[in-house]
Amino acid sequence: MSSSHCPAILIAAPASGQGKTTIASALARLHTRQGRKVRVFKCGPDFLDPYWHTLASGAPVYQMDLWMTGEADCRARLSQAATQADLIIVEGVMGLFDGEPSAADLAQRFGLHVLAVVDASAMAGTFGALAFGLQNYRAHMPWAGVLANRVASERHAGMLERSVREPAQWMGAVMRNAAMTLPERHLGLTVASEVGDALQRLDAAADALATTPLGQMTLQDLQRWRVEFNPAEDARTVVPVPGLQGKTIAVARDAAFCFIYAANLDCLRALGAELVFFSPLADAALPACDAVWIPGGYPELHAQTIAANTALRASLAAHIQAGKPVWAECGGMMALFDTLVTVDGQHHAQWGLLRGVVTMQKRLAALGPQQLRLPSGTLRGHTFHYSTTDTPLEASLRTARPDADPMPDAGEALWVQGSVRASYFHAWFPSCPEAVVELFSPPAKVELAA
């Protein structure tokens, strides 16, 4: 297989909340406006940042994680992107060295040059020390430079620039500007499609970046960050058995249920499934289908609307009564229970298809990578939720952390009732297509075939 090459940078930071997503999206928007092809990827299991990257670049955005998606998948996607793009941007996760594997691990594995974004609003000379530490904490880290974010004034920017040991690594300063702030809520950034002036915010950020050394780089300048990518020979780009051939899967997709990996949709199609989409907020019935997927999202923000759509609830109940599969992840699972209690103590009746009460919490209830071992194979994914569930249902299985065995009272429960499978676990479908076939097949049929 021949290799491909392309300028590629990983936008990192010393911690969460420094403005990585804003800068990554601004850089993508800036080059896209100039007619260049930009491909953006997100490090880690994140659903929300990719909405902004997609809007900025005009291209699909996929996740990269050396554990969840796997090195071969990452390599194949980077190699393919390098044949199509003028610039590859990977947004890191948390701080540069946080997590196992970390964004730094990804950068070193593939030779991605690291651009550090630092919120400099409350520092001056320490900015240079922080940049030096990020660059030199680990040997042989490919380095692009450092960008100061949320800077107060030109005088402040000058102080920051003078603190950087190597002048060539100064990528500029972006001033504090409310017009380019990306709105947030409890699970992270607000989905771009819900923000009426989302593109204007990205344009404002791109305009601000255009005044910096980073933003003024030409295609020729970008070649200093060129990386050669060799396609992975063992990448599983084709699913070996189209186990869902002839099946139609209805996927919930609207403001309440929007946590969907693009790779998961690709996987279902590769397995032979036809996908149709519906809105539990607006539609009165399921489309004609053989199985249903209700992904995660924000049911707590739409609890009244969900409760009021009794027609959709009846259609879903009929689907379940007919023994047709339902896979419900996190927010999708929450809507299946009897009651959802919001943070302010309001009780909202939900679909009542599973017995139990879901209660929103002010703090995270669970976070981290998880794997679900089904009879047909092990799915990798993650958990991230602010609610807890009180249910008389017995867990059929439980997830485990990477390289760990499931414990009776640890990990996320997989609840199985009739043809419904539900869990807080968010699955990365390409990690085990055989298990995906199991999830979207009637339970009795899978058991008989086992």
Mean pLDDT, residues 242-256: 94
Percent of the chain with pLDDT over 90: 78
State the residue for tokens 């922080």: 130
128: pLDDT confidence band, cut at 50, 70 and 90? Answer: very high
Question: Measured between alpha carbons, how far is 89 from 103 in angstroms, rounded to an integer?
Answer: 13
- For 33-90, what is each residue's pLDDT tens digit? 999 999 999 999 888 889 899 999 999 999 999 999 999 999 999 999 999 999 999 9
As annotated, the active-site residues are: 330
Question: Each residue of 400-442: pLDDT tens digit?
Answer: 998 776 665 678 999 999 999 999 999 999 999 999 999 999 8
Write the DSSP assignment of 234-299 as a string of letters. Answer: T---S-SS-TTTT-EEEEE-SSSS-B--HHHHHHHHHTT-EEEEE-TTT-SSPPS-SEEEE-BS-G
pTM: 0.91
Q: Give the type of residue at 216.
A: Q
pLDDT for the residue numbered 240 = 57
When pLDDT is cut at 50, 70 and 90, the band that residue 178 belongs to is: confident
Task: Using pLDDT thresholds of 50, 70 and 90, give the confidence band for residue 450.
Answer: very low
Q: Which domains does the chain have, with CATH numbers?
A: 4-229 (3.40.50.300), 248-449 (3.40.50.880)
Residue 165 pLDDT > 90, yes or no? yes
Grade residue 447 by pLDDT with cuts at 50, 70 and 90.
very low
Provide the pLDDT confidence category of residue 444 given band limits of 50, 70 and 90. Answer: low
Biggest CA–CA distance in the chain, Å, is 72
CA triple 82-10-77, angle to 5 deg: 35
Task: Enter the DSSP assignment of 68.
Answer: I
Alpha-carbon distance of 157 to 224, in angstroms, equals 25
Contact yes or no for 104/111 (Cβ under 8 A): no
User: Using one digit for the tens of pLDDT, what is the confidence trace for 266-291?
Assistant: 999 999 999 999 999 999 999 999 99
Ramachandran sector of residue 377 (left: φ over 0; alpha: ψ -120 to 50; beta: rest): left
Beta bridge partners of 53: none
Confidence grade of residue 3 (pLDDT, cut at 50, 70, 90): low
**CA-based end-to-end distance of the chain:** 38
Predicted pLDDT at 399: 94
Phi, psi of 205 (to 5 degrees): -65, -40
Contacts of 212 (CB under 8 A, 6+ apart): 147, 171, 172, 173, 174
Q: How far is CA 199 from CA 11, 242, 273, in A?
A: 21, 39, 33
Omega within 30 of 0 (cis) for the link into 101? yes
Asked if pLDDT for residue 204 goes beyond 60, the answer is yes
Distances (CA, A) of 146 to 10, 134, 163, 203: 12, 10, 11, 22
Separation between Cα atoms, residue 145 and residue 171, nearest integer Å: 6
Torsion of CA 195, 337, 385, 91, to 10 degrees: -50
Angle (CA) 222-227-233 rounded to 5° is 150
Instruction: Check residue 48 and give its pLDDT.
Output: 85
Model pLDDT, residue 449: 31
Element containing residue 164 per DSSP (H, E): none
Model confidence pLDDT, tens digit, residues 308-337: 999 999 999 999 999 999 999 999 999 999
Is 402 in a helix, a strand, or coil? coil
